[in-house]
Structure 1
Amino acid sequence: MIFLLITKRQKKNIKNPTIEHTDLAISQNIGGSTVFEGELNDALSKSKLSETEKKEIQEKAKIAVKAIKDYAEWLKNLPNKTPRSFRLGADLYAKKFNVDIQSSYSADEIYKIAVDHKNDLHDKMFVLADKLWKKYNGNAPKPADKLDLIKQVIDKISLHHTTPEKFQSEIEKQIPELTAYVKAKDLLYIDPSKPLVVRKEPAYMAGVAGASISAPGPYDKNANTYYNVGSMSGWTAENAESYLREYNDYILQILNIHEAIPGHYTQLVYSNQSPSIIKSILGNGAMVEGWAVYAEKMMLESGYKNSDEMWLMYYKWNLRTTCNTILDNSVHTKEMSKEEAMILLTREAFQQQAEAEGKWKRVTLSQVQLCSYFTGYTEIYNLREELKQKEGDKFNLKKFHEKFLSFGSAPVKYIKELMLSEN
């Protein structure tokens, strides 16, 4: 009955929805209904409930599945002659940025910083790609265009990747390696009692991101943290190859730093230990994502897998974070077209077509969130450098990390105030 009531209310509230969000709602509702079928039956088979209780739950589950699928079907047939645009517009975008990100920067300021950072990354990448040209292209003539030269070297390096079948197992293999490295370098303490489980992304989560972390909250601190890995099942060979070139042997390691060690997984374990329940539950996205992006550069700065190839691929990955901000702001406030977005992502950020298509879909379904990575990273990195200059020889990287994380998932500008006031 509760599902019937929910869907009736949902139907009443929906007026001129965007086409993009309607399609997402359909796919996620259908995906979510599977929880009440195979997964529920598997759980019931392992439970100690009586046969009568199991049957009662299964009958109610059938009602829930029917309600969800009926709702999805209703969405498919919804008359919508004047759908709203997915673009937020400059005024609403600025307001949402201030509320969601809670940065010391405005939306326009961080956009300009991102554009400058993109140009700086291109310069650094050209130096490395030019150095690596002969190794990967022999005596072939170098292209005159700087971005073309970078792309050709990246394309060759990107051919080194795992297979669709081994994608998840490769991630699982790298987690203990990262943990051992952080411990050996004494970068910060990682609690070995908090489980991290790599799993296939559940169907109800499909549609927005290819990899993510599902962490337990402060009321269930000892539960598993799940590293959700998107599946390539059903993909064409061409799309799978494009995706794997994007997440090649180098970038896959950076992804694992970001999502797991010492990125999201580690930060969220610390967040659960914060005395402020509010900060743990209502975490600031820019701090959470910013820490994961900061962790990537910090690990390479510490010497992790140091090579020209790793740094080139790191810069490519960091371009993605940087261009997330440029893309999000441009699409929602500057009427950037899909064609223009594809040029930014594939030519200037050197992304594979499959990755760029996925990012376009994401920017049509969200607003401001894509800015959280670069904004948080910029503020955290700048804070660290400010403290290094202030403390001189007394600065300790491990102490900085653990102190920073001890404040929970609060906005960086407030953590900065607290940390600077103590010095």
Structure 2
Amino acid sequence: MRKTTLSLLIAASVLGAGALSGCQTAPVAADSQAAAVDADFASVAESLLMRGLERSPESSIYAGRYDNAATLTIPDARQRAADLTFARAGLQELAAFDPAQLSPAERIDHMLLKNRYEASIWYQETFRDWQWNPSRYNIAGPIGLLLNTPYADEDERLRTVMARVEHVPEYYAAARANIADPTAEHVELAIVQGRGSLSVLGDPLRKQIADSGLDAADKATFNARIDAARAAIGEWTGWLEGVQAQQVAAGKARSFRIGAEQYERKFAYDIQSHFTAAQLHQRAVDEKNRLHGQMDKITVELWPKYFAGTAMPDDRLQRIGMMIDKLSARHVGRNEFFDEIKRQIPLLAEFVRKHDLLDQDASRPLVVRETPEYMRGGGAGASVSAPGPFNPTANTYYNVSPLDDYSDEQAESFLREYNHWVLQILNIHEAIPGHYTQLLHANKSPSLVKSLVGNGAMIEGWAVYAERMMLEAGWGEQAPEMWLMYGKWNLRVVTNAILDYEVHVEGLSEARALDLLRREAFQEETEAVNKWRRVRLSQVQLTSYFTGYAEIYDFREQQKQRLGEDFDLKTFHNRFLSYGNAPVPAIMQLMAE
């Protein structure tokens, strides 16, 4: 319905423009025809989206829509065939519209949907990660959302979960049938996540059932289904452990590297940038060199303060590293990490309000929590889980992975990485005005397509842009220590892009990758090891941060130059965020037109 409303507004604005230009019959008729085409396309686009959500209960749950949440999608060959049929039919429906005849907003929606269906076909037929990546198969996420989102009374939500849990054995049987020649890295991750899934179906849920208003028969049925589901998960992880043992004995497994051809295609579908993957890689290499020069100037400035009487090394990377190592000793204690994150969130919100940087919404809660067990193991220490546009007032969760499994040495390395200055930048990125703020704006976008068909480079790029913007606005009081640590943090974004491309396309070795991360990006050992793990588990996603950031920052600077004194930062931010999760080049086009 929100999409239809947008179409009516577009039609009204087009007709209004014709009326203001005079009583010329032809332009009014042409504008009326254009408005009608837009309205027809908007109807088709909304229909495609809603049919897609009806076919994917899991996508519906993440979008905040629960009418089909009781159904668990079984990832078998029949489901894949149906997905292909739907994607091809969607492309045929889109082909009925000439994008050149659509208004800018609708033209972007057409592009997003076309890319979504073409990517879906490529992923199934060519990339085929459903066959070699067992970590794709995890039933815990939607169940966790249903149990923790109060969209209905508790008993109704429990009945919905009970219905989903019934088919968990069938789900993992299909997953097992799909897997052939998996990578060792994804087998390991699937084992970790499978064990984590058991926590969702554990004693807390059984207690919730016991204390609920379900009748005795339903309680017994639910507990029996939990037993069967837990057994199925145990069989799945046990089978994966067998696969893992075979791979170890054979001394080989499928390579996690996807190669140049697949990398470029995946980059094009996932990132939707005006850069190619190769161009983005070169931009990142150039930016790394620029940052080294900037950080060296700050290091030379700070040297007398922190290293009085100590000769400064001739090698700039060595002296930058020494300064970062010195500053990194200032960090919170192991048991204070979680609480310090919670403490900083309201301070960031107040800073944004005081400096009038962009609109916020205090009515939408942000809940800091420990990362659920079923979400751990992928190498990310912090993340945000946001509600979908159909349930925009639900909680947004800031997930913080606990340090429980770290040795004292690993915990110290981690805390040095997320030291006094870097922890503040992390909270800007994940929370305010980064992911949390951007996703709140996205859920208010009048375009369901732009909200639901999210572009990762825009989402991650905004969070990275927010870091620099906040420091430019005065967060950190322009302290050189903060800017030096920002340079270190920004190097992480830059080296993410370099690392991902060079690992998957150029065959970068583990030793060289860790040298890049440790020596050139000044990362602590724990962080570097986690990143090496992450780059073997994902492809292209690590480039999204730098791609989106470079495009957003370049665009802002272009707008400042074009508008001069008329440029207003808050207006730019609010307008940019109003277009939902569209690719940055598309937002640039919409703002220009």
TM-score (norm. length: structure 2): 0.70
| Cα distance between partner residues in 1 of 2:581 and 2:298 | 36
% identical equivalent positions: 50
SS, match of residue 47 in structure 1: coil
Deviation at 1:280?
A: 1.3
Q: Which deviations, in whole Å up to 9, do the C-alpha atoms of 1:210-264 show, x marking residues without a partner?
A: 1000000011111000000011102110000000000001000000000000000
Match of 2:295 in 1: 125
Deviation at 1:301?
A: 0.6
1:19 aligns with 2:191: no
Query: Runs of 5+ in structure 2 lacking a partner?
Result: 1-165
Match of 1:99 in 2: 269
Match of 1:44 in 2: 209
From the superposition, tell whether residues 253 and 45 of structure 1 become closer, same or farther in structure 2 (CA, over 3 Å).
farther
Match of 1:409 in 2: 581
Deviation at 1:399?
A: 0.3
1:309 aligns with 2:474: no
1:63 aligns with 2:233: no
Match of 1:320 in 2: 492
Q: Which deviations, in whole Å up to 9, do the C-alpha atoms of 1:345-371 show, x marking residues without a partner?
A: 000000000000000000000000000
| Cα distance between partner residues in 1 of 2:212 and 2:433 | 36
Output the amino acid matched with 1:403: R
| Cα distance between partner residues in 1 of 2:168 and 2:212 | 24
SS, match of residue 218 in structure 1: coil
Deviation at 1:170?
A: 0.3
Match of 2:456 in 1: 285
How is 1:272-421 mapped onto 2 (pairs within 5 angstroms)? 272-305=443-476, 306-421=478-593
Deviation at 1:281?
A: 1.7
Output the amino acid matched with 1:317: W
| Cα distance between partner residues in 2 of 1:52 and 1:165 | 44
Match of 1:233 in 2: 404
| Cα distance between partner residues in 2 of 1:288 and 1:159 | 32
Superposition CA RMSD, Å: 1.1
SS, match of residue 228 in structure 1: strand
Pick one of 159, 162, 169 that aligns with 2:332. Answer: 162
The number of residues matched between the two structures is 421
1:224 aligns with 2:417: no
SS, match of residue 297 in structure 1: helix
Output the amino acid matched with 1:168: F
Q: Which deviations, in whole Å up to 9, do the C-alpha atoms of 1:148-179 show, x marking residues without a partner?
A: 10011111110000112111110000000000
Deviation at 1:52?
A: 4.2
Output the amino acid matched with 2:361: D
Output the amino acid matched with 2:425: I
Largest Rg, 1 or 2: 2
| Cα distance between partner residues in 2 of 1:372 and 1:43 | 40
SS, match of residue 335 in structure 2: coil
| Cα distance between partner residues in 1 of 2:358 and 2:308 | 42
| Cα distance between partner residues in 2 of 1:144 and 1:398 | 43
Deviation at 1:51?
A: 4.4
| Cα distance between partner residues in 2 of 1:332 and 1:252 | 30
Q: Which deviations, in whole Å up to 9, do the C-alpha atoms of 1:123-158 show, x marking residues without a partner?
A: 000010111112112211111110110011111110
| Cα distance between partner residues in 1 of 2:216 and 2:454 | 42
Match of 2:313 in 1: 143
| Cα distance between partner residues in 2 of 1:376 and 1:264 | 13
From the superposition, tell whether residues 141 and 46 of structure 1 become closer, same or farther in structure 2 (CA, over 3 Å).
farther
Output the amino acid matched with 1:302: A
| Cα distance between partner residues in 2 of 1:46 and 1:389 | 62
How is 1:192-203 mapped onto 2 (pairs within 5 angstroms)? 192-203=362-373
From the superposition, tell whether residues 116 and 42 of structure 1 become closer, same or farther in structure 2 (CA, over 3 Å).
farther
SS, match of residue 159 in structure 1: coil
SS, match of residue 317 in structure 2: helix
1:213 aligns with 2:378: no
From the superposition, tell whether residues 246 and 30 of structure 1 become closer, same or farther in structure 2 (CA, over 3 Å).
same
Deviation at 1:14?
A: 0.6
From the superposition, tell whether residues 325 and 48 of structure 1 become closer, same or farther in structure 2 (CA, over 3 Å).
same
1:255 aligns with 2:426: yes
| Cα distance between partner residues in 2 of 1:12 and 1:99 | 28
From the superposition, tell whether residues 131 and 65 of structure 1 become closer, same or farther in structure 2 (CA, over 3 Å).
same
1:54 aligns with 2:219: yes
From the superposition, tell whether residues 50 and 326 of structure 1 become closer, same or farther in structure 2 (CA, over 3 Å).
same
1:267 aligns with 2:438: yes
| Cα distance between partner residues in 2 of 1:224 and 1:38 | 24
SS, match of residue 389 in structure 1: helix
Match of 1:31 in 2: 196
Output the amino acid matched with 2:212: S
Q: Which deviations, in whole Å up to 9, do the C-alpha atoms of 1:91-136 show, x marking residues without a partner?
A: 1100100000000110011110100000000000001011111211
SS, match of residue 334 in structure 2: coil
